[in-house]
Amino acid sequence: MNSPEASIAVLTCQRPGFYVGETISQIVREGGASLPRRIFIDGSEEFKKALAYRIRPYGGDDWELIRLGEGLGSSEAMRRLVVQSAEEKRDLLFFEDDLLLCRNAVKRMITQHVPDDVGIITFFDMKEIKPDAAPGLYRRPANGTDGRGFWGAQCLKFPSESLVWLAEHDWMEECQGDFRMASDILMGRVMVKHPSRSRLAVHVPCLVEHVGQASACFPGVSLSPRWRRATNFMGRSFNAMSLGVME
C-alpha cells in the first residue's frame, strides 16, 4: 500500500544555468503546496546560502534546503537523497531542477497509485514508449526494455517500499564503467532485482518536459527535438486531472 502522504524532493547542483526557481514555483502551483518539500543540494555551503537567497522570489522560503555534499555527481547525490527519504516511510515525488510541468501535474502525481508490481513510476520518458501512444501506465523492466538501461530520472514517484530497497542496496555493485552521472541506470538495475516491484511504469502522457539547455550530467550536450526530450508531453496547457484512472 502507498503511504498516506507523500513528500516532494528536488535535486539541484552547481551547474550552468538557473532553472530551479521556476521548477519549484510550478511544483507548488500545480498541486504540491500541501506536501512537505525539500531541495537537496550537491554543492558547497556557500552555494547553498546563495541558492536560498536566489530562490526566495519563487517561494523558496517554504522549502527546506538540505546539503548532501559537494561534487558528488548525480549517482551518489541521488543515492543519498533516497537514503534520507527512506527514513520518512512516505512515498516520494522526485523532480530534477529543470522542468516544465503541465496543468495540475503534481495533483495528478499525488493521486496516481503505484501498483503493487511497480517499483517506480516515471512521468517523463524519452525512449521506452513511442510518440502518440494512448494514455496508460506502461510496464517495462526497471532497467529498460532495450538493454541500454532506464534513461531519464526527471520526475519519478517511489512507493516507500522501493525507497527502502534502494537505500539498503549498494548501487556501485551495478556499475559497468564510469557511472558517476548515471543515477537513472543504477536505480533501474537495483530495482529490477526486487522480488515483487521489478517493473518501471511509464505514465503516458508525460506530465513534465525537460527544459534545461545545459546538462549537468553531460556538459556540452544541449537539448534537441530528438534528445533529452519527452516522447509524449502534451504541452503546458494540458490538464493532467482530465486523465482517467490508471492501473
The residue behind cell 527512506 is 86
pLDDT of residue 226: 52
Q: Give the model's pLDDT for residue 225.
A: 52
Burial (CB < 10 A; 0-12, 13-18, 19+), residue 142, is: buried
Model confidence at 228, pLDDT cuts 50, 70, 90, reads low
Per-residue pLDDT tens over the stretch 121-141: 999 999 999 999 999 999 999
In a domain, 193, yes or no: yes
> What mean pLDDT comes out for the span 70-96?
97
Tell me: pLDDT of 219 over 50.
Answer: no
What CA–CA distance (Å, rounded) separates 27 from 43? Answer: 22
- Domain of 24 in residue numbering reads as 7-242
| Pairwise CA distance, residues 199 & 221, whole Å | 29
Structural domain includes residue 1: no
| CATH number of the domain to which 190 belongs | 3.90.550.10
Read off the pLDDT of each residue in 201-208 and give the average, rounded to a whole number.
Answer: 98
| Radius of gyration from C-alpha coordinates of the chain | 16
Residue 101 burial by Cβ neighbours in a 10 Å radius (0-12, 13-18, 19+): buried
Where residue 28 falls among pLDDT bands split at 50, 70, 90? very high
Q: What is the pTM of this model?
A: 0.92
Does a structural domain hold residue 2?
no
Task: Please tell me the total count of domains within the chain.
Answer: 1
Cis status of the peptide bond prior to 195, with omega within 30 of 0: no
Q: Does 115 map to a domain?
A: yes
pLDDT for residue 126: 93
What confidence tier does 5 reach under pLDDT thresholds 50, 70, 90?
confident
Instruction: Please enumerate in sequence order all residues whose Cβ is within 8 A of that of 4, keeping only pairs 6 or more positions apart, or say none.
Output: none
Write out pLDDT tens, residues 7-22.
999 999 988 889 999 9
**Residue that has been written with the C-alpha cell 518501471 in this structure:** 200
Give residue-wise pLDDT tens across range 33-79: 999 999 999 999 999 999 999 999 999 999 999 999 999 999 999 99
Mean pLDDT of all residues in 205-215 = 82
167 in a structural domain = yes
Alpha helical stretches, state H, the chain: 20-27, 45-54, 74-86, 105-111, 160-168, 183-191
The mean-pLDDT minimum among 24-38, 107-121, 123-137, 201-215 falls in 201-215
HSE, CB side, 13 Å, CA atoms: give it for residue 158. Answer: 29
Instruction: For residue 2, name the pLDDT band (cuts at 50, 70, 90).
Output: very low
